[in-house]
Structure 1
Amino acid sequence: MKSRVSMRDIAREANVSVMTVSLALRNSPRVKQQTGERVRAVAKQMGFTPDPALRALISYRNLKSTQKFRGSIAYINNTPEPNLTQTSPLHSQIFSGATERGESLGYMIREFWMHEEGLKSQRASQILLSRGIQGLVLGPQTRAHSEIEMDWQHFSVVQLGFSLEAPRFHLIFTDIFAVVARIFQELANYGYRRIGLVLQKDQDERVQNRYSGAYLAMQNKLPKRLKRIPVFSESQAKEKIGLWYDKYKPDAIIGGPELFQHLQAVRELKTPEDIGYACPFYLKRVEGMAHADGRQDEVGRKSMEILSSLIERNERGIPDSRIIHLLEPSWTPGSTLRRVGSPVSLAS
């Protein structure tokens, strides 16, 4: 029996957030007309029909209770680029999920840019307090070993990602180790035997080497007769990726689109005929790309749930010991892979 098409399915197909799908299907004025029409067209094409039982339950809940406004949250953008929640696929997906869940909990969330000209840490704290901000969501940092200074004792705080080195707050993010492990397993199921990992400069360091750590752990599960391929990092210079390919002859690659496309160009490789490919940090939809979905909108939702509980318990400042919440990724096959042989058995 074919499973019911969900709003998450429509969101993936239309390359928008689940919240945007929900609003578009209700003809909300908060969604641009062009976007709304496109989302509704995708929903119709996919055969989406609302679940009557779920709709009745939502209506009942809305009648029984209306969530009162409980406070304001700031999404901290500590990068040189302003308006990341609008321009960056990573930040916009997280922010969309956080906004959706925040509204249901009674919180309003707004982006706060830490690199405004002349803005110092003490002044930033004063501005946030003057705006009645109770909690902070620290967005992912663009550099490894980042630090942020602020008068933390006034705020409940959660951080997203591993690149913030100090201070250390309760953390929510995608399980990067599980991302690579899942892709490696899927490639082995397709019969790929020489699986390589290519990374952008600084990318592995920003997640405390979870990409390479998972890759090496999965390599150790391969049958001993199969060759182990070292990680290629862009710090070795992008021009050397062709030499790396010539030496190790991977039959499938895990890595970011830019570096992989460069390899395709310099060695004239086609997917999936010449080489298989899967992306471990899928943010912007590319038709047919096999990928792991880090569920960034869900990261945003969970961040608001945890932050709300901290505010309710009046837990502010830097925690004595932090809790790390990791979300399991999902897997989507694509036309960048093909079955090349019998599945490779990995040691348990």
Structure 2
Amino acid sequence: MFITQLNKQPKRVTQQDVARAAGVHRSSVCLAMQNHPNIPVATRERIQEIARKLGYQPDPMLSALAVYRRQQSPRVFQGTLAWLGNTLPHYDWRKIPIFQQNYEGAVACAQSHGYTVEVFDLQTPDISPQRMAGILRSRNITGIFVAPQPKPYATLDFPWEHFSAVTFGFTLLQPLLHCVAATQYRATLQTMQRMRGLGYKRIAFASSLLQDERVDHNCLAAYLAEMAIHGEKPLLTPLKPGWTTPENLSAWMREVRPEAAVISLDVRDMLIEAGFRFPRDVAIACPMMFEPNGPLAGVCENSRLVGEASADFLVAMIQRGERGVPPVPQRLLIEGTWVEGTTLPPLRPAPAAKRKTAARSGKSRKV
């Protein structure tokens, strides 16, 4: 009885069955199911429609076997991936440690998959985005790392339909590509919770508008959420273009007098320029750090791991044949690591003399 039921199971539809029905070679079916650009769009769609009608589905066991064989075989050269920069006179990603670490991580992980990474730049003289795409295609480069952009809310006009692409962070507004980024929202929550655990209550948030926009307001959102949960009034620097200067920050700090401040790195540098010392004048921590061994307390973004994850993501897209702007972009967030530093020590309790004075004044008011 059991054997009879097994014999009655329908035969699995194979790529060869689809090829026979479509009148093409099996390799064409394989490429069409991967959305490979070498197959014309009309042919690709026709093959995919025939496969759907026949009930074709990839064999998960064969797919797993193919992955296993790739992992066990020696790494051989698979091709070249592009790192697509957008360098301007005032902006060079190579000079920004976090982005340089992204690049180093992407290169190292890509090499483990058999790929090399070559740098290209959208600002190369006399080369339009269309010509740049033509250069990449002529060299059979199908995967692109899109480097962080010079300014937030950037748009890039590029023929993405021929490429698998992944970007970093949140500076690219259009098109919406898959991206890999640090968890700035969670890092800010972690920073504030550390501050509270060390005894700080009057906590401020100090960031430039540009920096807050670059991280898609994740740090600001986390700060406001944490303050709202505790029923406390936010202490925010004005998020206005051009407001963040050493002079304005110094005056604001002396007026607000926070016990501790969640800061961005540019604000840290400006406060040092204004003569502030940490934690002597104010305790500080940064949720977006790139240096794990310095004096600054906060969350190190693990930027190299962000780069490694982006390479894994991009290679998987290439293997699945995913090209063009995705209908639903995915965001892969990489956790940071807390760094103790020296700028956020436990809050010292008020001296005993001051506590007695405060207690006596409290009794006087009651009388």
Distance 1:237 1:303, change over 3 A: closer
Q: Which runs of 5+ in 1 are unaligned?
A: 1-62, 343-348
* Matching residue within 134, 155, 173 for 2:163: 155
Determine the structure 1 residue equivalent to 2:198.
190
Corresponding residue for 1:140? 148
What letter is aligned with 1:282?
M
2:208 corresponds to which residue?
Answer: 200
**1:156-212 CA-partner distances (Å, limit 9, x unpaired):** 011111110111111111011112111111111111111112112311112221121
The 3-state SS of whatever aligns with 2:117 is strand
Secondary structure, aligned partner of 2:100:
helix
Give the alignment's TM-score, normalised by structure 1. 0.74
Question: Which residue pairs with 2:139 in the alignment?
Answer: 131
Query: 1:146, CA displacement in angstroms?
Result: 0.3
In the alignment, does 2:341 pair up with 1:327?
no
Kept in 1, the 8 Å contact 2:75–2:113? The answer is: yes
Q: Which amino acid aligns with 2:305?
A: E
What residue is the counterpart of 1:25 in the other structure?
none
Q: Indicate if the aligned counterparts of 1:199 and 1:234 stay in contact, CA closer than 8 A.
A: no
Partner of 1:269: 276
Residue 290 of structure 1 corresponds to which residue in structure 2? 297
Match of 1:115, SS?
coil
User: Could you tell me which of 119, 130, 134 is aligned with 1:122?
Assistant: 130
Matches within 5 A, 1:1-348: 65-80=73-88, 84=92, 86-222=94-230, 224=231, 227-233=233-239, 235=241, 236-238=243-245, 239-266=247-274, 268-284=275-291, 287-341=294-348
Seq. identity, %: 27
Identify unmatched segments of 5+ residues in structure 2.
1-70, 350-367
Q: Give how far 1:85 is off.
A: 6.0
Paired residue secondary structure (2:262): strand
Change (3 A) 1:131 1:177: same
Q: How much does 1:284 deviate?
A: 4.3
Aligned residues: 278
Distance of 1:128 and 1:275 partners within structure 2: 51
Specify the structure having the higher radius of gyration (Cα).
Answer: 2
Task: Give the Cα separation in 1 of the matches to 2:229 and 2:348.
Answer: 18
Q: TM-score, normalised by structure 2?
A: 0.70
Offset at residue 308 of structure 1 (A): 0.7
> SS state of the match for residue 229, structure 2?
coil
